[in-house]
Structure 1
Amino acid sequence: MNAVVAITKHGVEIARRLGEQMSDVHVYYTNKFAKGDEEEKGIHLFSGNVRLLVPSLFTSYRGLIFIVSLGAVVRMIAPHVKDKKTDPAVVVIDDKGEHVISVLSGHLGGANELTRRIAHLLQAHPVITTASDVQKTIAVDLFGRSFGWVWESDEKLTPVSAAVVNEQHVAIVQESGEQNWWQYDTPLPANIRVYPTIGAALAAKPAAALVVTHRLLTKEEEAILQNGVLYRPKVIVLGIGCNRGTSAEEIETVIRETLTELQFSIKSVKALCTIDLKKDEAGLLEVAQKYGWEFVYYTAEQLNRVPIEQPSETVFRYTGAYGVSEPAAKLYSGSQLALVKKKLGNVTISVAVIEKEG
């Protein structure tokens, strides 16, 4: 949720308007301008200095919208600012509702996006000073975020971002994941070049690199990360079958060992898939929840429609399906399997990689 805060007569009108137009906003304003319908509309009134309200708002909302002077807002939030990865978005609107200014956490906190949204609602002018937005180039800290991509490490975000906005040679290598990541209506900037392989990018000696892959890089390939950011797209699908009562620890160990053998990153796992007989299997549920993976299950009938390489009469006798891990991974991914099937202890695992999308 977001909070919009006003302290003037005109500001209150703007805040009430946003409260009506935005379903994800709570309205706060001084009781000096109460209209009598605040309780009915779920509006929060406060008395005294608005500064006293800021500490609780800063930790309770993902976005703060102030209809207060920019200087006053900067002074109020200064003691609470900690880190761009955790601070809320902060947006300021002038008292006439003519300008909407992105102040804090423009990218990771979503202030730039919130600024554009509010400006559209108020027919106001959005003020965004983030270099990558102004230049219409790649925002390194947001690259692939809308698809669920995650960084392997944030260590090089700042120097790589500097290379992008300073128009240095930046290489992009994408081995997997969604391909429609460039969403401006202008061409990719000339300083950003796409290479088919990490080897080709290294040979071009770029100043920085963005690498998108589910693979674990070799020692030679890791040189690209000297000034590079490695992104993990959500493309790996795990098909899992297991005996009833198999522990989460055993399931997780098999998954980790299998991915290491395949030289795949666990951060690129998207979904754990199985048969509906296992939809309440505690170990599977625990592992999926721990990593935030989708947990998907199919009926025996759905699984039996999928051609598989290693059908099992034994599995059919117990489940009604000729396979669990193999067809489940295929069903979800729509791709061929990187690992058809492996049984280890109480667990059977198959692995698929979703082909490039977009």
Structure 2
Amino acid sequence: MIKLQEGVIPEVEVKKPYALVAITKHGVQKARQMQRDFPHVDVYYMDKFQHGDEQTRGIQLFKGTVRLLLPALFKQYKGLILIISLGAVVRMIAPILIDKKTDPAVLVIDDKAEHVISVLSGHIGGANALTHEVANAIGAKPIITTASDVQKTIPVDLFGARFGWIWESDEKLTPVSASVVNEEHVAIVQENGETNWWMHDTPIPSTLKQYETIQQALEAKPNAALIITDRILDIEEEAILQNGVIYRPKSIVLGMGCNRGTSLEEIEAVIDETLAELKLSKKSVKALVTIDLKKDEQSFLDVTNRYGWEFVTYTPAQLNEMPLPNPSETVFKYTGAYGVSEPAAMRYANHQELVLQKKKSGNVTISVAKLHFS
């Protein structure tokens, strides 16, 4: 709990590049949803709206006026996203403004999340690009009031943010951004994820060249690279990362079942072991899915909250609608479904292909599917 006092700069825990702050009931609901839809934010809201899962989800509660919180956030974050009225925000940030070269981006979202407004540091601070990404992520209208917008290209640190993509590492964000802005040869390799990432009304610049494979990109010797994949790269492919950034699209579905009361540690160990065997990134997991009998399984609730994954359950009838490679009479006897992990993964992915069929490990059963993107 952050207790705010006049004249005291509060200590905050910074994990993500942007801070998302809400001070109303509806704003808090939107902030909690945005934490999943736009996973680049640390969420802050007033303690009186707490749900009880804030510590697990990494949400920071504060007590007192938000005006006393903003100076700390202003100094430590690349941008602030405030679900607060525009007038109130203007009054609160006015005393802490320094210079357009150093001030962070500031965005305002209305209480119904219908509009996202770029308020401060639109160009240098990246508020205009951030406004577009946040608006796309939450289905709102972006409001940009600067006379001229930024160069119409890819904002490297926000690439795919509206889809929930996250980078593997921020180590090369700055030099790769420089290559993009300076119109150098930048290779783009996309193995999965949403394909409608170009958001401008102009053609993609000729300096941004798309390649089918990482090997083809390496052979072209680009100055920088943007790689969109849920795979762990092979050693030979890692050369592309000398000046490259990997983006992890949300493409992996974990179908799971477990014995009642299975520990979080065992659940997570099976997930980690399975993804390592498949050479898939944990950062690309979108959802954990199971039977509705497990909707209150604490370890499933904890692991999905910890990583911001969707947690979806299906009825036995819904699971039985899926064609099963490994139906089980024993499972049917206890659950009313002929399978859990396999049909749940297939149903969520909306197709019948499995990357991994049912694997039993201790108290846990796991299957893996991937989402298809057009």
- TM-score w.r.t. the length of structure 1 is 0.71
Distance 1:68 1:144, change over 3 A: closer
Instruction: List aligned pairs for 1:38-49, cutoff 5 A.
Output: none
Equivalent residue for 1:349?
Answer: 366
Distance 1:109 1:190, change over 3 A: closer
* 1:102 lines up with 2:121 in the alignment: yes
Distance 1:196 1:159, change over 3 A: same
Equivalent residue for 2:106?
Answer: 89
Q: Which amino acid aligns with 2:302?
A: E
Instruction: List aligned pairs for 1:230-249, cutoff 5 A.
Output: 230-249=246-265
Query: SS state of the match for residue 110, structure 1?
Result: helix
Query: SS state of the match for residue 62, structure 1?
Result: strand
Distance 1:55 1:285, change over 3 A: closer
1:274, distance to aligned residue in structure 2 (A): 0.2
- TM-score w.r.t. the length of structure 2 is 0.69
What is the number of equivalent residue pairs in this alignment? 284
Distance 1:328 1:261 in 2: 21
Distance 2:302 2:281 in 1: 20
Structure ID, larger Rg: 1
Aligned partners of 1:58 and 1:88 also within 8 Å: no
Residue number among 199, 207, 227 corresponding to 2:223 in the alignment: 207
- Aligned residues with identical type, % of pairs: 58
Query: SS state of the match for residue 98, structure 2?
Result: helix
Equivalent residue for 1:326?
Answer: 342
Q: Which amino acid aligns with 1:126?
A: T
Query: SS state of the match for residue 146, structure 2?
Result: strand
* 1:217 lines up with 2:268 in the alignment: no
1:135, distance to aligned residue in structure 2 (A): 2.2
Distance 1:299 1:225 in 2: 44
Aligned partners of 2:133 and 2:162 also within 8 Å: no
Equivalent residue for 2:308?
Answer: 292
Equivalent residue for 1:46?
Answer: none
Distance 1:105 1:146 in 2: 18
Aligned partners of 1:54 and 1:76 also within 8 Å: no
| Structure 2 alignment gaps of length 5 or more | 1-25, 28-65, 74-79, 109-117, 136-140
Equivalent residue for 1:174?
Answer: 190
Aligned partners of 2:342 and 2:367 also within 8 Å: yes
Residue number among 187, 206, 209 corresponding to 1:190 in the alignment: 206
Equivalent residue for 2:37?
Answer: none
Aligned partners of 1:235 and 1:354 also within 8 Å: yes
Q: Which amino acid aligns with 2:266?
A: E
Distance 1:342 1:114, change over 3 A: closer
Equivalent residue for 1:78?
Answer: 98
Aligned partners of 1:329 and 1:350 also within 8 Å: yes
| Structure 1 alignment gaps of length 5 or more | 1-22, 25-52, 92-98, 120-124
Q: Which amino acid aligns with 2:81?
A: R
1:59, distance to aligned residue in structure 2 (A): 4.7
Equivalent residue for 2:354?
Answer: 337
Distance 1:356 1:294 in 2: 18
Instruction: List aligned pairs for 1:156-175, cutoff 5 A.
Output: 156-175=172-191
Q: Deviations over 1:293-317 (max 9, x none)?
A: 1000000000000001000111000
* 1:62 lines up with 2:81 in the alignment: yes
1:88, distance to aligned residue in structure 2 (A): 5.4
Q: Deviations over 1:111-137 (max 9, x none)?
A: 677999455xxxxx5146xxxx53211
